[in-house]
Amino acid sequence: MGFMTKEFIATVHPQSTATTAATRESADSRPAAIDVPTGLFVGGEFCSGGQGETFEVLDASTGQGFVNVHSATEDDARKALDIACDVQEEWAATSPRERAEILRRIHELIIDHGDDLAALQSLELGRALPDSKGEVTYGAEYFRWFSERACDIRGDYRIAPAGNGRIVTMQRPVGPCLAITPWNFPLAMVARKLAPALAAGCTMIAKPPQLTPLTMLYVAQLTKQAGLPDGVFQVLPTKSASNVSCLLDDDRLRKLTFTGSTEVGQMLAAKAAEKTIRTSLELGGNAPFVALSHANVDRAVESAFGSKMRGGGQVCVASNRFIIHKDIAEEFISGLVDRLKECVVGPGNHPDTTVGPMVSAEQRDKVADMVDGAVNQGATVELGGFNPATAGDGKVKTSADLDPQGFWYAPTVLTGVDQSFDIAHQEIFGPVVAIQVVDSDEEALKRANDTKFGLAGYVCGEKLEATLAFAEKMEAGMIGVNKGVLSDAAAPFGGVKQSGLGREGGFEGIDEYLETLYLSLDL
């Protein structure tokens, strides 16, 4: 990796952070040490920010910093956009096959470096290693999927209805793009944006989240190894998001793609509208999980577990509101509590851990406040509801002695939740199941749609016709039917209402980075 100097490399040790000697000797695939870039990635090189400032990345299992990353300034962002604009025409002119081959090599390199990437994500995010390994496979798949889409870009040639000419259409790249990604999927979120942009022939500047910047920087070096020309992809970590979002003031930027909160997304979209910058947004959610009167309870429990506990509940499509028909409610609650008791809370890179810490103290405290608020409004705690590093009830398992400075919260089940409770209208973003019991499937649908959000939803039922009819009436962009995990690189990802605009992934994903040119021929 000759393009990296020692000044911009840090060696991190995922096995030695918040683990015991016995743990480090266990047989697993975690690397003992990982060399990661810590600089800005601009023009194909890692470098410092213009003012020489850095920010600290914390280990969520200890609350302690373990690496410093260089911070971009507005001037750094402007320089990156200058470079992106300089190389845009040349990159757009490359053949679809050439772009496809580069994307395929990125996919292969991510898989080859999968152990490093998984351990790195579990270190900077705190997430359990099995979930991080799953994201490596999932994120890499976007590069393979869009490598196959690069050669599918097409147009049209037809006779004008009046018969006096020809209508010719073609698609071309929109131009330089800005991607802003969230902390909870540090690999998949950049993959879902970068892969279609590259396939379409667009350059991209990406701002990784301040909490989890290392994975994207690691991916940046892999794109370089794969042969991506300098300046086509650039990464600007920063401790001030406005240092990068300032690019929305520049007429040369032609596309914004953002994943994050509804409030921030709407603010950025309003700013982008001032320059008529094309925008795609994946925003907040408040996903309902509905178990109909005829649901298979065992199947519903497993679906509910998958839809909530992936990533410890810190997932935009995680179920928030569990709406269960009264006929199966008692059995469902008992089964889900037993299933959650199997979870093991611990440091993300510990081999026994299935639920890691929250990403930050702020996020942990926000979830704890939601649970306390629900209890004050009348909810009952069936499991959890505490920090397992400082309290316990003998029902929540831990993988080791938890550092009290870590950002822990136990898997939690609340019953007796009413639609009027605050927690029924909040995106929980943590390992908390809030259960509402309803008298009818009709009431379940009404409650499911009673939200301004519409990213994802889930429904379980054994009567196929009735279940599909219910799913088609749910107001969300994505519906899981008798399953709790629905993300797929080959499927369109996105929401309705205040959960976003546009789609990522699937056949539709590349269209977000293409514009249509119409040629009118007079023959």
Residues forming the active site: 282, 316
- Cβ atoms within 10 Å, residue 518: 10
- Cβ atoms within 10 Å, residue 97: 11
Percent helix / strand / coil, the chain, rounded to 5: 40, 20, 40
Dihedral angle computed from the Cα positions of residues 505, 508, 513 and 518, in that order, rounded to the nearest 10 degrees: 170
Q: Tell me which residue of 466, 472, 429 sits closest to 448, measured CA to CA.
A: 472
Estimate to the nearest angstrom the gap between the alpha carbon of 146 and the chain centroid. 18
The secondary structure element, H or E, covering residue 432 is: strand 432-438
Residue 312 contacts residue 128 (beta carbons within 8 Å): yes
In angstroms, the CA 122 to CA 407 distance is 14
Q: Tell me which residue of 410, 466, 419 sits closest to 320, measured CA to CA.
A: 419
Secondary structure (3-state) at 67: strand
How many H-runs (helices) and E-runs (strands) does the chain carry?
14, 26
The per-residue b/e assignment along 454-478, b for 16 or more CB within 10 angstroms, e otherwise, is: bbbbbbbbeeeeebeebbeebbbbb
Q: Tell me which residue of 21, 13, 14 sits closest to 348, measured CA to CA.
A: 14
Phi-psi domain of 37 (left: phi exceeds 0; alpha: psi -120 through 50; beta: other): beta
Q: Is 513 exposed, middle or buried (0-12, 13-18, 19+ CB in 10 A)?
A: buried
Q: What residue type is assigned to position 273 of the chain?
A: A
DSSP 8-class letter at 273: H
Q: Strand 34-37 and strand 9-12: pairing? A: antiparallel
Residue 279, beta-bridge partner list: 256
State in Å, rounded, how far the first CA of the chain is from the last one: 56
Residue 292 contacts residue 327 (beta carbons within 8 Å): no
CA angle (214 as vertex; 493, 312 as ends), nearest 5: 55
Q: Tell me which residue of 512, 519, 517 sits closest to 202, measured CA to CA.
A: 512
